[in-house]
A and B are shown apart, each in its own frame.
Chain A
Amino acid sequence: MARYSDREIAEELLHNDARLQKRVKWFFKNNRKEIKLYVHQQGGTSTHATHLLEDGMVALFHHLKLNGTQKSSLAKQFIAICKSIWEKKPDAEKHLYPRLHEEKAMEKLFARMEDADVQVLKAFYFEAKSEEQISKQFGKPHHEVENAKKWNALRQLKDLLIKDEELLNELNANLPKS
């Protein structure tokens, strides 16, 4: 019998609190072997499998944020997502880690902001948190967090981007065309 329900795992993943990842870690550890086996069967290596698992967890997060929990089990969704990423990725890219440059740039960018401001931006724009959960996290009513923190933090981030033309151009190139 499963130790945690899909709902519990999905909620924890979506809340993205680095300190509370017990259920997500349990879920990950229960499903990683199947992905590793799949990658090896496809001629990939352990490094390929690690990158695929990382991509898969990120994709699962966005999938849940967009669609909520669905009828099929979370494990099945995760495995299907990983396999789909692997199949779509060109062979030449499977051994690369193209995000290294991007991740470093993001780390540098957000390191210039106060941690509390970064947390506010993430709570509003990345994590699927309700107003109540945001109030609980910051110890203030949701609208107060929004008025006192969110807009200032967003302005700060925009100002930092203006100063980093190269990064801004890279981000603009990655924006979906409207």
Chain B
Amino acid sequence: MMDSLEQRIDSYLSNRMAEKEKLDFEKEMASEKSLQKEVQLQKAAYLAIEKHGDAEIRERVHHWENPASPTLLKKYWWRLALPIVIVYAAIFLYNAFSKPHLEEDLFEEYFETAVYRSTTSYPAETFPNWNNGTKAYKQGDYETATSFYEEHLRRQTETQEALFYTGMAFLSQDPPNLKKAQFYLGQVTGKQNPYTNTAKWNLALAYLKEGRIVRTKKLLRELLAKGNYRKDDVKELLERLSLED
């Protein structure tokens, strides 16, 4: 089979051509302006891939560094409620031998907000709520994102993608809205679709955070039985939960 133009340029740029082939290629390039242009274009494409990858790493780090910050009201409310929380926590820990605390820690350890990556086109003029929601989602403002997403779901046909990101936005809030997250993610885990496994994993974490271990384990076992999605994490979490039984 004849190599494609991209393949030949790739071999040349990555120094994988034999000496004679390389000399012939350079000769061809010297006489053909169009080939020179293609080589330059391919170099630009490689640079674009690198810059896109760099941006993804930056976005991830930015998110670790700036998780959605609670509003002033929330901060104030927590300060007011602190004595109640302390008493409640003491009673809770006494009754439950600190098990729920462990579950919260496990949630924090395993949960990651899904990076928004759409497979569908949402023209801004037709889907303003979706676009506004996604803008907020990407900025880590999950409260705003959920308002727009829910409005979108009220007005448009529900898609697995829309349900998934709405669920993820509720789960990414600080603190997460577990009931809403469970409601939306639960609708994505039924029929097989590109979001099924990610939704199932996050639904399991939403139940874990709530202390509903039986449901968490059931979902994790389903994931383990049906494929390789985050296999090591799923196995590890199941083992850690079993140790706490």
Which B177-212 residues sit within 8 Å CB-CB of chain A? 198
- Complex interface: chain B residues within 8 A of A28 (CB): 61, 64
User: Measured between alpha carbons, how far is A111 from B52 in the docked complex, in Å?
Assistant: 11
Are A22 and B110 touching (Cβ within 8 A)? Answer: yes
**Is A89's beta carbon under 8 Å from chain B?**
no
CB pair A103–B61 under 8 Å, yes or no, is no
Contact present for B49 and A18 (CB under 8 Å)? no
Give the complex CA separation of A166 and B147 in angstroms.
36
Q: Check A109 against B43 for contact (C-beta < 8 Å).
A: no
For residue A161, CB closer than 8 A to chain B, the reply is yes
- Expressed in whole angstroms, the Cα–Cα distance for A22 and B107 within the complex equals 12
Instruction: Mark interface residues in B1-38 (1 if CB within 8 Å of A CB, else 0).
Output: 00010110010000000000000000000000000001
A158 touches which of B45, B57, B110 (Cβ 8 Å): B45
1/0 contact string of B118-158 vs chain A (CB within 8 Å) = 11000000000000000000000000000000000000000
* Cβ A151 vs Cβ B64 within 8 A: no
Q: How far, in Å, is B29 (CB) from chain A's closest CB?
A: 12
A57 to B211, CA, bound (A): 35
> A138 at the A/B interface (Cβ < 8 Å)?
no
Tell me, yes or no, whether A53 is within 8 Å of chain B by CB. yes
B42–A154 CB distance below 8 A = yes
User: For the side of the interface on A, what is the size category?
Assistant: 35 or more
Contacts of B52 in A (CB 8 A): 106-107, 109-110, 118, 122, 126
Docked pose: A158 CA to B38 CA in angstroms: 9
B residues less than 8 Å from A115 (CB atoms): 117, 119
Contact A22 B109 (CB under 8 A): yes
B48 touching A157, Cβ below 8 Å: yes
A172 at the interface (CB under 8 A from B): yes
A162 touches B64 (CB 8 A): no
A171 contacts B by Cβ under 8 Å: yes
Interface pairs (11), CB distance under 8 Å: A19-B198, A50-B65, A50-B66, A99-B55, A103-B55, A107-B52, A110-B52, A115-B119, A126-B50, A172-B44, A175-B40
Having A154-B6, A155-B4, one finds 9 other A-B pairs with CB under 8 Å, namely A16-B57, A25-B64, A50-B65, A57-B61, A103-B51, A158-B6, A171-B44, A171-B51, A172-B44
Q: Which A residues are closer than 8 A to B by beta carbons?
A: 16, 18-22, 25, 28-29, 32, 50, 53-55, 57-58, 61, 99, 102-103, 106-107, 109-111, 114-115, 118, 121-122, 125-127, 151, 154-155, 157-158, 161-162, 167-168, 171-172, 174-175
6 closest residue pairs by CB, A with B: A126-B53, A171-B44, A54-B58, A103-B55, A106-B52, A125-B49
